[in-house]
């Protein structure tokens, strides 16, 4: 039977110390529910008393119907020369009404004497009494030994004494923290092994940071040395360079190292969890994140795509479906025949790899990319291009004309007016729209023009708009690439489109047209099926 590893998530506390990371109370509650559904063992909700938001979270969390996870409150030991039962901060931990409490104490003598400005013995008293006070009030206590590895390297005897103090107080787990994130794999593994030998019957945990780029590696090394609890955050968010990334740790532990996790049965929902937490934090997802990033199983080079088409695991370290991801073939001027054939198959076209047709399309693709188009993040535009080139698929509507006027009067905000004329089955539709910006005005006018015939396009929502200036040395005459991400509000599906021109409005128009055209064709294919 494999060793069982417990997962301790601190996204809602340590994670929020990362730059640009913040959760509302409502978002924290939703994340807690999602983590519980996934199978996380401990969810650190915050530091009671540090801010009103965390206290409001603990009050609301009492009403959550969690099936497995335990919400934990986080805090520090009592203050120097203050009895644990008189310490205000420890009382606030009890007020949070969580069954588990995590407290940290000082391990490194530098912090004891220079930061707390107290004695070695008083620090040991603070640790032991604080843990005992919480345990005597019915709480399970996880003890975080802050700066443990730095403290151990400075004075191993005293570092061990701090753990013994927490153990005497009744801590159920001793978690060793690489708070500065500076330890290398071999250092950390050796020290965890020595702690485990000293406390063979006590559960040991590790809490690592990513300052040396090794947060995941040292955490895994800690497990190999005997730790059975890993602390980390979803997507690796956290102070400075972040915490050990649970979305990387969990699949490595479960799929590659053979450890048992309570969440192992849900590991195929890992990408979904990653995206959800990013959405709740209102931050962009990391496309290059291991396992869960959209680029994690993406193939761009022709040789790679060809090999992956023949034998998927030739260029994929696991089956992407195991973590809820999927193989993607990127198309660019580096693409070979295999890449194009795989994309063509997605739209129902089987190509002969030696056909003149495929050769001409590759030449056209390379020419378009030379002009400024890029299809790696514009899958929808590429599929439309492929359909037009290989299947002779004509657009569902044709442009007659468009016009955009931007005005700015001193007494009012800038405004934009767009007029669009399109032809559908011989009939011309003429509409206009007014908005603050030209992109919104053009988008609204286009939708109004084609919605009478294709009402489904009103389900399309523009969620991202990016502009890049190519060859900026040409100044205002440079080619501009516009990339748009759109979303189907009914299904949640997203797609990317691209336009390129020396005129930003023209480039925008191309990307907008592809966006709604793709939606029309998607719905048409669904109806056929």
Query: Is pLDDT at 410 greater than 70 in this prediction?
Result: no
Q: Which of 417, 496, 415, 428 is nearest to 462 (CA)?
A: 496
Domains 6-280 and 371-396+459-529 fall in the same CATH topology: no
Instruction: Write down the CATH number for the domain with range 371-396+459-529.
Output: 3.30.160.340
Yes or no: say if 500 and 466 are a contact pair by the CB < 8 Å rule: no
Where do we find the tokens 């969990």? 250
Q: How confident is the model at residue 310 (pLDDT cuts 50, 70, 90)?
A: low
Residue 475: band (very low, low, confident or very high) from pLDDT cuts 50, 70, 90: low
Determine the pLDDT at residue 309. Answer: 56
Alpha-carbon distance of 39 to 126, in angstroms, equals 34
Which one has a higher pLDDT value, 280 or 363? 280
Give this prediction's pTM.
0.76
In the chain, where are the structural domains located?
6-280, 298-366, 371-396+459-529, 406-453
Q: Which CATH number fits domain 6-280: 3.30.230.70, 3.20.20.70, 3.40.109.10, 2.170.120.20?
A: 3.20.20.70
If 0-12 CB within 10 Å is exposed, 13-18 middle and 19+ buried, where does residue 189 land?
buried
pLDDT digits over 353-401, tens only? 777 777 788 888 888 888 888 877 788 898 898 888 877 788 999 999 9
Say yes or no to pLDDT of 434 above 80.
yes
Backbone angles phi, psi at 405, to 5 degrees: -120, 130
**In terms of C-beta distances under 8 Å and separation of at least 24 residues, what long-range contacts does 412-418 make, across chains too?**
416/440, 416/441, 417/441, 418/442, 418/444, 418/445
> How far is Cα 325 from Cα 502, in angstroms, rounded to an integer?
37
Predicted confidence at residue 331, as pLDDT, reads 65
Cα separation, 176 vs 355, in Å, equals 62
Pairing relation of β-strands 203-208 and 42-46? Answer: unpaired
pLDDT bracket for residue 33 (50, 70, 90):
very high
């Amino acid at each position: 039977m494999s060793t069982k590893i417990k997962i301790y998530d601190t996204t809602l506390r340590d994670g929020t110390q990362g730059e640009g990371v913040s959760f509302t109370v409502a978002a924290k509650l939703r994340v807690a529910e999602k983590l519980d559904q996934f199978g996380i063992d401990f969810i650190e909700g915050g530091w009671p008393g540090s801010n009103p938001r965390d206290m409001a979270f603990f009050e609301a969390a009492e009403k959550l119907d969690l099936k497995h996870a335990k919400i934990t409150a986080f805090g520090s030991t009592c203050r120097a020369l203050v009895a644990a039962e008189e310490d205000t901060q420890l009382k606030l931990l009890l007020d949070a009404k969580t069954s588990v409490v995590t407290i940290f104490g000082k391990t490194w003598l530098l912090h004891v004497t220079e930061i707390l400005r107290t004695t070695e013995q008083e620090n040991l008293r603070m640790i032991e009494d604080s843990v005992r006070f919480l345990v005597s009030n019915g709480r399970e206590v996880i003890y975080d030994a802050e700066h443990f590895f730095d403290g151990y390297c400075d004075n191993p005897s005293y570092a061990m004494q701090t753990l013994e103090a927490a153990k005497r107080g009744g801590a159920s787990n001793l978690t060793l923290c690489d708070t500065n994130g500076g330890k290398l794999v071999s250092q950390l593994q050796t020290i965890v092994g020595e702690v485990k030998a000293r406390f063979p019957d006590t559960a040991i945990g590790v809490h690592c940071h990513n300052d040396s780029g090794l947060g995941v590696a040292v955490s895994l090394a800690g497990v190999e040395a005997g730790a059975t609890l890993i602390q980390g955050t979803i997507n690796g968010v956290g102070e400075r360079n972040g915490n050990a990334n649970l979305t990387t740790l969990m699949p490595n532990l479960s799929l590659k190292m053979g450890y048992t996790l309570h969440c192992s049965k849900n590991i195929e929902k890992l990408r979904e969890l990653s995206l959800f937490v990013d959405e709740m934090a209102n931050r962009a997802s990391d496309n290059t994140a291991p396992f869960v990033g959209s680029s994690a199983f993406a193939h761009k080079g022709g040789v790679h795509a060809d090999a992956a088409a023949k034998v998927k695991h030739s260029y994929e370290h696991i089956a992407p479906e195991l973590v809820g991801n999927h193989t993607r073939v990127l198309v660019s001027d580096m693409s070979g025949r295999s890449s194009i054939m795989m994309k063509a198959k997605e739209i129902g076209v089987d190509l002969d790899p030696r056909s003149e047709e495929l050769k001409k399309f590759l030449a056209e693709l390379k020419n378009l990319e030379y002009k400024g188009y890029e299809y790696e993040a514009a899958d929808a535009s590429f599929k439309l291009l492929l359909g037009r080139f290989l299947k002779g698929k004509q657009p569902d509507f044709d442009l007659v004309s468009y016009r955009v006027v931007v005005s700015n009067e001193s007494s009012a905000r800038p405004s934009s007016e767009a007029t669009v004329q399109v032809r559908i089955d011989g009939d011309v539709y003429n509409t206009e729209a007014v908005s603050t910006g030209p992109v919104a005005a053009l988008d609204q006018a286009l939708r109004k023009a084609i919605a009478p015939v294709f009402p489904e396009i009103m389900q399309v929502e523009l969620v991202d708009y990016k502009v890049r200036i190519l060859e900026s040395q040409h100044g205002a005459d440079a080619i501009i690439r516009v990339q748009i991400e759109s979303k189907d509000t009914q299904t949640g599906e997203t797609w990317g489109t691209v336009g390129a021109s020396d005129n930003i409005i023209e480039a925008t128009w191309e990307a907008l047209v592809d966006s709604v055209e793709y939606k029309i064709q998607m719905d048409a294919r669904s109806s056929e099926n």
